[in-house]
Amino acid sequence: MLWDIEALKKKAQEEINSAQDLAGVDAMRIKYLGRKGIIAEIFSKLPELSAEEKSQTGKFANELKFFLTELINNKVQQLKTIDHRPKTVDLDITLPGIKPEIGTRHPITQVLEEICAIFTQMGFKIFDSPEIETEFNNFTALNIPLEHPSRDAFDTFYIRRQKLLLRSHTSPGQIRVMKKYKPPLAVVVPGKVYRPDAVDASHSFMFHQVEGFLVDERVRFSDLKGVLTNFSQELFGSDIKMRFRPHFFPFTEPSAEVDISCVMCEGKGCSVCGKKGWLEILGAGMIHPNVFKAVGYPKNKYTGFAFGMGVERIAMLKYGIDDIRLFFENDLRFLRQF
Ligand code: PHE
């Protein structure tokens, strides 16, 4: 035999096993299996051999070829999975550090806290009420009858056909507080509310409200006016004027929509107030007797007022923002301004 196949196999095996990297293995592939490699050379010399040598050598060379192909492929796999990260790290502890970024509170959080702070100064307590509500708390107890349009699935996110939903306003907070506590009560309920509205410059499927209510014996509409006037002057400045327009809410009677004089034009009329000079900021009224009945308060003992305001709307007026979507896009260039 012209070649000692066994010795060749042993040598190739050693060389391939000791390859340090992929380039090293590749060099072995070329050396043994390449077009001009050792195996190819053996095959090219076969015609010069005797018939018996030819078949023997051909057989061995073929076996060696398969053996080395497999060995090389395994070695490549092995090298690819090895962790090539350096074992020691070059660490220069004298380099200047990376300054951690200091965040700011979201503008909605800031306005929400500002609103709550004004009411806590007036003696109101803050109550945290859940965002997942029962149909009873969100509607029934608030005197919103079965056939009222806002009960349709269109206006409320329902949860899996159960009688649970994402609260569409913070008013169910009134029910939770009154079911749990007896008057006198002065409470604000801040938080997220949900409505399946198409998103545009003034609508979002999620926004924030602050609910407020006060219940005691002999609470009057003038108390509501006093509290809300103090609130808007604290928030927007002492020159702000208020206007109460008659309105309808199922859970208050009488009800009103409350406007403030336009913060942009001071009532002269501009594009923000639609030339009206007034901006609607909240809904309010005297709590309906049916609501007291639903929470089990004795008949004719208490009176009270309630109001609810949208935080995004107030923040937009306060900062002159014309698109509600800006609050929820997480654009730091916008958020860093507050
Ligand atoms: N819940 C009403 C709304 O979301 C607002 C409101 C609250 C009105 C309390 C009157 C009294 O539109």
Does residue 86 form part of some domain?
A: no
pLDDT confidence bin for 56, thresholds 50/70/90: confident
> Does one domain contain both 313 and 222?
yes
> Does one domain contain both 149 and 236?
yes
pLDDT at 176: 98
Rounded distance between C-alpha atoms, residue 122 and residue 235, angstroms? 13
Does residue 38 form part of some domain?
A: yes
> Does one domain contain both 299 and 157?
yes
Does residue 96 form part of some domain?
A: no
pLDDT at 271: 83
For ligand 1, the distance from its centroid to the CA atom of residue 231, given in whole angstroms, is 17
> Does one domain contain both 43 and 120?
no
Does residue 52 form part of some domain?
A: yes
Mean pLDDT, residues 156-170: 89
Q: Across the strands, what pairs with 255?
A: 247, 285
For ligand 1, the distance from its centroid to the CA atom of residue 52, given in whole angstroms, is 102
Model confidence pLDDT, tens digit, residues 173-229: 999 999 999 999 999 999 999 999 999 998 999 999 999 999 999 999 999 999 999
Tokens found for residue 303: 């009176």
- Kindly give the residue spans of alpha helices, DSSP state H, lying in the chain: 5-17, 22-28, 38-45, 51-81, 107-121, 135-138, 172-180, 221-236, 289-294, 311-319, 332-335
DSSP 8-state symbol, 58: H
Is the pLDDT at 119 greater than 90, yes or no? yes
> Does one domain contain both 142 and 12?
no
Does residue 289 form part of some domain?
A: yes
Nearest CA, atom 9, ligand 1: 307
Model confidence pLDDT, tens digit, residues 260-290: 999 888 888 888 888 999 999 999 999 999 9
Does residue 24 form part of some domain?
A: yes
> Does one domain contain both 265 and 169?
yes
Q: Is 12 in the pocket of ligand 1 (CB under 6 A)?
A: no
> Does one domain contain both 60 and 113?
no
> Does one domain contain both 212 and 295?
yes
Does residue 100 form part of some domain?
A: no
Tally of structural domains, the chain: 2
For ligand 1, the distance from its centroid to the CA atom of residue 273, given in whole angstroms, is 21
pLDDT at 327: 97
Quick one: which of 187, 239, 246 has its CA closest to 221? 246
Substitution site in 155, 188, 249, 291 for ligand 1 pocket (most atoms within 8 Å of beta carbon):
249
Rounded distance between C-alpha atoms, residue 175 and residue 3, angstroms? 96
Mean pLDDT, residues 112-127: 98
Model confidence pLDDT, tens digit, residues 86-95: 677 778 888 8
Rounded distance between C-alpha atoms, residue 70 and residue 19, angstroms? 15
> Does one domain contain both 218 and 273?
yes
Does residue 92 form part of some domain?
A: no
> The domain that contains 289 carries what CATH number?
3.30.930.10
Mean pLDDT, residues 307-328: 95
Which residue is it, tokens 């959080």?
A: 109
Mean pLDDT, residues 50-69: 88
> Does one domain contain both 156 and 260?
yes
Q: Is 283 in the pocket of ligand 1 (CB under 6 A)?
A: yes
Residues 192, 131: contact at Cβ < 8 Å?
Answer: yes
| 39: containing domain | 5-81
pLDDT at 2: 63
